[in-house]
Amino acid sequence: MQRLAEFGWRLLPFIAAITIWYLVRWSGLVDQGLLPPPHAVFVEIWRRSLDGGFLLDAWMSVRRVLLGLFFGMLLAVPVGFLIGWNRGVRRFVDPLVNFFRALPPIALIPLVIVYLGIGEVAKVAILFYAAFFAGVIVMYEGMSQINPLFVRVARTLGATDWEIFYKVIIPLTIPHVLTATRVALGVAWATLVASELVAAQNGIGAVIQNASAFFQLTTIYAGIVTIGFFALLMDSVLRAITRNFLNWQDRVAQ
Amino acid sequence: MNASASFQLCEPAASAHSPDVKVQFRDVYKTYGRIEVVHGVSFDINEGDFISLVGPSGCGKTTMMNMLAGFTEPDRGEVLLEGNRVTGPGPDRGVMFQDYGVFPWLTVEQNIRFGLDLRVKRGMSKEEKRETVEKYIALMRLGDFRDAWPKNLSGGMRQRLALARAYAANPHFLLMDEPFGALDAQTRSAMHDLLLGIMQSERKTALLITHSVEEAIYLSNRILVISARPSRVVEEIRVPFSDQRDRELLDTHEFIEMRRHLRDLVMQQYAQQQELR
Ligand SMILES: Nc1ncnc2c1ncn2[C@@H]1O[C@H](COP(=O)(O)OP(=O)(O)OP(=O)(O)O)[C@@H](O)[C@H]1O
Ligand SMILES: [Mg+2]
């Protein structure tokens, strides 16, 4: 019963958003032709899913995001760790990281096309870039906040460097890895459509692009809602992991 | 170099190292930025000593303890441990930190086990580890909370956990930085007697930092009164009571006299520290 109520509370904001959507449409503030009703959008998602093409597009997008995120974090964790831990490395790398981070990934698309062409690698590369720089910043901000007292305590209890690494540093790093992954995931989704501009043939970004060429607003909305759905789903998974593994923390994401 | 000579309590720096002397602070100086924190401190700690540092807040007591623990090096002078210069921390010197340093990602029991798990890898038996963990969980009355996260403990419980963890690792030296501050009066006296018991039964050497004059007298055989910043040793007081102590001591005439004398000394330094600010 309580779980049901909990579920209801989770759903409520979405119901509210859909209601507002209907209200805006019916109020006449916006030309009805420019704002398809929610049910039409859901029917569109359903219809396109049935013929399989849309599911394939969604899968392509999800795969790109996951690959970009995976490789981005694979590099961001050790690099963020290193610059968070070593002041010399940080002084050297910090300006560079900030420069590249300020550079919007979309600005790199022309270069990526020149170097990597327009295949799958090019798209993943852009997402990798976006995920890496978002992740690395969060990682090293977090790492540099780690309280050196814990290392001292472990030393007085007889821990060697290696034991300190895996019994103290690793547990203290995991929360930052998870936060960084969440941030990077958000950025990767935000960059997805842009990355699928690179000769879009499939992917939800491509669906949106094509639909916009033909002014198919319902399809555009269907694409946007689908992206939102998958982004939220992945974020929820990460939050669930955070909750279960990091319940020792004072404040755990709900 | 000799500005502080009048406060030197130990033999001159050149003296040979005698087997009973475990720790020597020899004319130690420390400055942080533009603030001089320790100014020519010299004293010895002998095997079996329970030595207390009493002095105003911010005078440099933790800094001195950190030098012995191996976290800070003196700018001048040296800190010797069994005749050798202290170069870093080690399991021979257990430290109870002023802000506890309880590991938040480990449960109460896992915290206490931390040092013991390391020793199991170096040959301690699992059985002995288990017994030690149980012993300190019971002594520190943490049984109901053995699986709790530190975030759910009260300040006093966290302090007891930090003590349990330090004691359980069984170091020869116990360095304790205001270890009983967050405890209620009853628990504190229980902890005092527990500590005296451990000192007796396990032949340890201890350095205690405290603001409580009474606590210092009750636990120590020697008390160093530390000056307002920068730290110097103002006076060393030898506590004449036997090692077997109980609460009745607190009401004896000698204890009360000593407490008055020590309190006067400490108050002077607190007043000077106030002027510094
Ligand atoms: N790592 C550091 N860097 C800069 N200043 C420091 C450092 N450690 C201590 N200090 C300064 O040295 C002085 C003495 O500090 P310390 O912690 O040794 O005092 P304390 O006697 O332990 O005080 P309390 O009784 O309040 O714990 C303080 O003014 C403090 O600000
Ligand atoms: Mg202190």
User: How much is the ipTM here?
Assistant: 0.82
What percent of chain B stands above pLDDT 90?
47
What are the tokens at A241?
């992991």
Are A79 and A50 members of one domain?
yes
Pairing of strands B84-85, B233-238: unpaired
A49 with A137, same domain?
yes
Instruction: For residues A91 and A103, state if they share a domain.
Output: yes
Check residue A1 and report its DSSP letter. -
- Is residue A61 located within the same domain as residue A116? yes
Number of domain units in chain A: 2
Say whether pLDDT at B9 is over 50.
no
Model confidence at B14: pLDDT above 50: no
Domain ranges of chain B: 1-92+175-194+212-277, 100-170
The per-residue pLDDT for A197 is 65
Residue B242 vs residue B19, higher pLDDT? B242
Q: Ligand 2 centroid to B159 CA: how many Å?
A: 15
* CB neighbour list of residue B266: distance below 8 Å, 6 or more residues apart: B54, B55, B56, B213, B225
Segment B76-85, tens digit of pLDDT: 999 999 889 9
Nearest Cα residue to B126 out of B137, B117, B134, B135: B117
Residue B210, ligand 1, Cβ within 6 A = no
For residue B6, name the pLDDT band (cuts at 50, 70, 90). very low
Q: Is the same domain home to A127 and A238?
A: yes
A172: contact with B, CB 8 A cutoff: yes
Model pLDDT for residues A160-180, shown as the tens digit of each residue: 989 999 999 999 999 899 999
Computed over every residue of chain B, the mean pLDDT equals 86
The residue whose CA has the least distance to atom 1 of ligand 1 is B32
Instruction: Specify the pLDDT at position B140.
Output: 87
Question: Binning pLDDT at 50, 70 and 90, where does residue B4 land?
Answer: very low
Q: Is A70 on the interface with B (CB under 8 A)?
A: no
pLDDT value at B199 more than 90? no
- Do A3 and A104 reside in the same domain of the chain? no
Residue A20 and residue A6 share a domain: yes
For residue A69, what are the contacts with CB-CB under 8 A and spacing of at least 6? A127, A131, A181, A184, A185, A188
The first and second tokens of residue B211, run together, are 């603001």
Q: How many CB pairs under 8 A join A and B?
A: 63
CATH node for B1-92+175-194+212-277: 3.40.50.300
- Closest C-alpha residue for ligand 1 atom 3: B32
* Two tokens, residue B44: 């010895």
Q: Is the pLDDT of residue A253 over 50?
A: no
Q: What's the rounded mean pLDDT across residues A202-221?
A: 88
Whether B103 sits inside 8 A of A158 (CB atoms) is: no
**CB nearest to B104's CB, from A158, A167, A248:** A248
Cα separation, A92 vs A37, whole angstroms: 53
Return the CATH number at A76. Answer: 1.10.3720.10
Query: How confident is the model at residue B72, as a pLDDT?
Result: 92
Chain A residues 136-155 with a CB less than 8 Å from chain B? 149-150, 152-155
| Interval A186-200 mean pLDDT | 80
Q: Work out the pLDDT band at A251, boundaries 50, 70, 90.
A: low
Reported confidence tier of residue B107, pLDDT bands at 50, 70, 90: very high
Give the chain A residue whose CA is nearest to the CA of B148: A248
Summarize pLDDT for A99-137 with one digit per residue, the tens.
888 888 888 888 888 888 888 888 899 999 999 999 998
Please choose from B36, B62, B97, B274 the residue to mutate so as to test ligand 1's pocket, defined by most ligand atoms within 8 A of CB: B62
Local confidence band at B95 (pLDDT 50, 70, 90 cut-offs): very high
Q: B150–A249: do the CB atoms touch at under 8 Å?
A: no
Parallel, antiparallel, or unpaired: how do β-strands B233-238 and B222-226 relate?
antiparallel
B103-126: average pLDDT: 90
Q: Nearest chain A Cα to B71, which residue?
A: A152
Of B51 and B8, the structure prediction assigns the larger pLDDT to B51
Give residue B3's pLDDT. 40
pLDDT, tens only, A61-100: 999 999 999 999 999 999 888 887 777 888 888 888 888 8
Residue B231 near residue B41 (C-beta atoms within 8 A):
yes
Residue contact A152–B114, C-beta within 8 A? no
Q: Does residue A1 sit in the same domain as residue A55?
A: no
**Are A139 and A30 members of one domain?**
no
**Cα–Cα distance between B80 and A209 in angstroms, integer?**
74
The whole-angstrom separation of Cα A151 and Cα B257 is: 43
Would the CB of B60 count as within 6 Å of ligand 1? Answer: yes
- My answer on whether A140 and A71 are in the same domain is yes
Q: Which of A28-37, A126-135, A205-214, B108-117 has the lowest mean pLDDT?
A: A28-37
Quote the domain boundaries for residue A26: 1-35
B275 pLDDT above the threshold of 50: yes
User: How far apart, in Å, do the first and last CA atoms of chain A sit?
Assistant: 20
Degrees to nearest 5, angle at CA A38 with A33 and A41: 80
Confidence band for A200, pLDDT divided at 50, 70 and 90: low
Of B114, B122, B151, the CB nearest to A157: B114
The yes-or-no verdict on residue B13 having pLDDT over 50 is no
What is the pLDDT at residue A96?
Answer: 87
pLDDT for residue B2: 41
Are A150 and A175 members of one domain? yes
Cβ contacts of B90 on chain A, cutoff 8 Å: 155-156, 158
- Residue A20 three-state SS: helix
Is A90 found in the same domain as A9? Answer: no
Confidence of residue B276 (pLDDT cuts 50, 70, 90): low
Pairing state of beta strands B84-85 and B76-81? Answer: antiparallel
